[in-house]
Structure 1
Amino acid sequence: MNMPSGGSFQLPPLALYIHIPWCVRKCPYCDFNSHAAGPTLPEQEYVDALLADLDADLGHVHGRELTSIFFGGGTPSLFSANALGRLLDGVERRVRFARNIEITLEANPGTFEQAKFRDYRGLGINRLSIGVQSFQEAKLKALGRIHDGNEAIRAADMARAAGFDNFNLDLMHGLPEQSIEDALFDLRTAIAQGPTHLSWYQLTMEPNTVFWSQPPVLPEDDLLWDIQEAGQALLAEQGYAQYEVSAYAQTGKAARHNLNYWTFGDFLGIGAGAHAKLSSPSGQIMRTWKTRLPKDYLDASKPFQAGDRLLTADELPFEFLMNVLRLSEGVPAALFSERTGLPLAQLDGARREAEARKLLLADPQRLTASREGQLFLNDLLQHFLP
């Protein structure tokens, strides 16, 4: 058990992740648990399974309310408002919603219908995350995307018209044959749409993807560095503060659901392949994962949960810091004991080593990666491996 000295373990905030695994088409760079949709989706059966999955996990709630819900995928916006409404009603009957709950839905421009999105807003979904990736035709084609740049701009217009005053645009950089000018064009076009939040991250080659086995030619490292520096300067100039490695937000618009991940909060995970991080009042912390293939997840003879793993006291420093050090301003040092139940002194030796290498700021009150530590986060985390 991981018990804080001198008191009982304080349970962290609780969020809910809901995975909807279908897409119109699988993108060649995507390593998420997503599957090409057929002519019809098993909406009702899948909602039934999600609620049964949640029922099986209710023992992990321990009286907490949900601070946020995130519909990820796949492409959750393929589901009708009726299906998502029935799901949200079912979730709220089982777990209390915080008064100011943030509910985010991932959507792709090719799935936008203004009436549908107005209905989503009416359900209480109050944040969209729109997967744009680029506004340039050649880049979108190279990425295997099904929308074009104009559709991406119309999607942002329709989001506002449907009542969403809080939305994120997802953009990639380091794309095949991308120049600094290309990358800045995408950023400027995105900023012109008035999003409250931008996710701007580098394309990487992940195992079990088409790009892994058939890699495109990507920009050289020096150019990638120049793109990143120029893009970060532009975002800062336009009022988007970098609060995490690849997340930029207007004042007060950081994604609360993701902040819960990065501050080592708890989250339930329901749906095919969903992961969860769960704490118990005794101080034990566990990670769980659900059955991956939709056909198996929908098979009533098979369990929803595919596995779990209890984190040991030796693993917790790395698990905690792997998340919080992604944040530009880090976290109060006291949060380590609050979230893990371990004494802060357990980090002392590794902290001194990381500070000596200028990867961690020498601040006894906070745990914050230096600028160099953020750029070489894996090197920094090596100091905290069990």
Structure 2
Amino acid sequence: MSSSTSLQCPPLSLYIHIPWCVQKCPYCDFNSHGQKQQTLPEAEYISHLLDDLAKDAPLIGDRPICSIFIGGGTPSLFSANSIARLLKGVNSRVNLLTNAEVTMEANPGTIEAQRFADYVAAGVNRISIGIQSFQPSKLKALGRIHDEKQAQNAAQIAKQVGLNSFNLDLMHGLPKQSLDDALFDLKTAISQKPPHLSWYQLTIEPNTQFHSKPPKLPEDELLWDIQEKGDALLQAAGFQQYEISAYSQKGQQCQHNLNYWRFGDYLGIGCGAHGKITLPEQSRIIRTVKVKHPKGYMDLTRSYTYESNTVTPEDLPFEFFMNRFRLIEPCPKQDYLDFTGQSLDEHTSNNLQAAISKGLLTETLTHWQVTPLGRRYLNTLLETMV
């Protein structure tokens, strides 16, 4: 058991989940539901989101919220008027910083110029566009509803509507993907000049269509090749890797994601949304999960919160490092003391030393730093920390 220090509140974000999408992709394990009805219950759902937030607000008091992320599903299925009502309601219920980053996920198949401009007018200042690939055969294999022209068009519109920043989401390691295929996608994405790129490997997750009918994915050797050559391409184009699967131009990191990986706090509202909140006066950190299915979530006879658990002191070290070691930046030792509220125990110290001896980590008096080897074998590093 670790001895305790004074538990500090880290920065605070807000995650909002909108669960509907046009159709469920075969690789997707997020809490999303294909749109069955012609019209979505937008007004009703937003009323519930704001009620959910009001019920959670006592957990945070007047702590300022530094970023909002509206994820899904496909939030861009909701009208700009609905998003404006949502953000106005958030602003009246919590202390939202005036310069807060407000990101919304969008699908290229649901985007047009006026709609984008209206989202900006509603208060969205950053858009994340789920492109995944620019090649028709790959988009078809992934079950995406857009084509390559819509993908490029969405990026062009994002540049024109007055956003602070935008992100393109891209996958590699796709079914039957060659090195040339993967680099073509990356070069096409880079040519759109996005301030931020999320570039991550397709993984087969439980409870997905791909899990029950697995496609043939590239061999490990090819995956390393894609990663290595892709990384070189991104660096040459001025992108800096700041997290295992996130690259940005200078100063364009996603603040919401940074806070998440730095073991920051976040309220989670909406179907299946997860939250993490530090309660210093009670010397504990809680994790919350909201009711998953829209029907259950919008049932007025029950609570929005499905479960709320205190993170045990034994689990805190691993949870901290599991998040923090995804980042390329050095990890201040003071953050560990402040945001877990405990000093290093013998077990955790031994784990850190084991990771250092394997070349996965380096250490100074004030920081830990994941090495290039540690980034390449992140799972091994995290297993060392258990």
Question: What SS does the aligned partner of 1:141 have?
Answer: helix
RMSD: 1.4
Structure 2 matches for 1:220-369, cutoff 5 A?
A: 220-282=219-281, 283-344=283-344, 347-369=348-370
- 1:95 matched to which residue of 2? 94
Counterpart mapping for 1:172-251 below 5 A: 172-251=171-250
Instruction: Write out per-residue CA displacement over residues 188-232 of structure 1, whole angstroms, 9 at most, x where no aligned residue.
Output: 111111100000000010000000000111111111110010000
Secondary structure at 1:368 match in 2: strand
**Partner residue in 2 for 1:52:** 51
Deviations 1:34-90 (A, max 9, x none): 001121100000001001111110111132111000000000000011111111111
Gaps (5+ residues) in structure 1? none
The aligned counterpart of 1:34 is 32
CA distance in 2, matches of 1:249, 1:2: 37
Compute the displacement of 1:117 (Å): 1.0
SS across alignment from 2:361:
coil
CA distance in 2, matches of 1:2, 1:107: 43
Shift in Å at residue 364 of structure 1? 3.1
Correspondences of 1:113-128 after superposition (within 5 Å): 113-128=112-127
Q: Who is 2:129 aligned against?
A: 130
Aligned 1:98-113 pairs, distance under 5 A: 98-113=97-112
- Retained in 2: the 8 A contact 1:135–1:148? yes
Amino acid at match of 1:366: H
- Local SS of the residue matching 1:198: strand
> 2:2, 2:344 within 8 Å by CA — same for their partners in 1?
no
Give per-residue Cα distances to partners, 1:140-181, cap 9 Å, x unaligned. 001010100010000011112222241000000001111111
Structure-2 separation of matches of 1:362 and 1:56: 42
CA distance in 2, matches of 1:161, 1:375: 37
Letter matched to residue 112 of structure 1 = I
**Could you tell me whether the CA contact under 8 Å between 1:2 and 1:341 is conserved in 2?**
no
Using the alignment, how far apart are the partners of 1:372 and 1:240 within structure 2? 20
Q: Write the distance in 2 (CA, Å) between the matches of 1:284 and 1:2.
A: 14
Q: Percent identity?
A: 54
1:24 corresponds, among 2, 17, 22, to 22
C-alpha deviation, 1:345, in angstroms: 5.4
Provide the secondary structure at the position in 2 that maps to 1:17. strand
Deviation at 1:329, TM superposition (A): 1.9
Cα offset, 1:379, TM superposition? 1.6
Letter of the aligned partner of 1:40 in structure 2?
A: T
In the alignment, structure 1 residue 78 sits paired with structure 2 residue 71: no
Does the CA-based 8 Å contact 1:156-1:193 persist in structure 2? yes
Q: Distance in 1 between matches of 2:164 and 2:91?
A: 23
Match of 1:377 in 2: 378
Bigger shift: residues 128-137 or 56-65? 56-65
Does the Cα contact within 8 Å between 1:127 and 1:164 map onto a contact in 2? Answer: yes
Shift of residue 11 of structure 1? 1.0
Runs of 4 or more consecutive aligned structure 1 residues displaced over 6 Å after TM superposition: none
- The TM-score normalised by the length of structure 2 is 0.97
- 2:7–2:342 CA contact under 8 A, matched in 1: no
Of 262-271 and 164-173, more deviation after overlay is shown by 164-173
Whether the aligned pair in 2 keeps the contact of 1:3 and 1:9 (CA below 8 Å) is no
Aligned to 2:10: 12
SS class of match (1:63): coil
Q: Secondary structure at the match of 1:40?
A: coil
Q: Which runs of 5+ in 2 are unaligned?
A: none
Q: How many Å apart are 1:2 and its aligned residue?
A: 8.8
TM-score by length of 1: 0.97
Which letter maps to 1:27? C
- With over 3 angstroms needed to count, the CA separation of the structure-2 counterparts of 1:160 and 1:341, relative to structure 1, is same
CA distance in 2, matches of 1:348, 1:35: 44
Other-structure match for 1:61: 60
Letter in 2 for 1:30: C
SS at match of 1:30: coil
Aligned partner of residue 172 in structure 1, secondary structure: strand
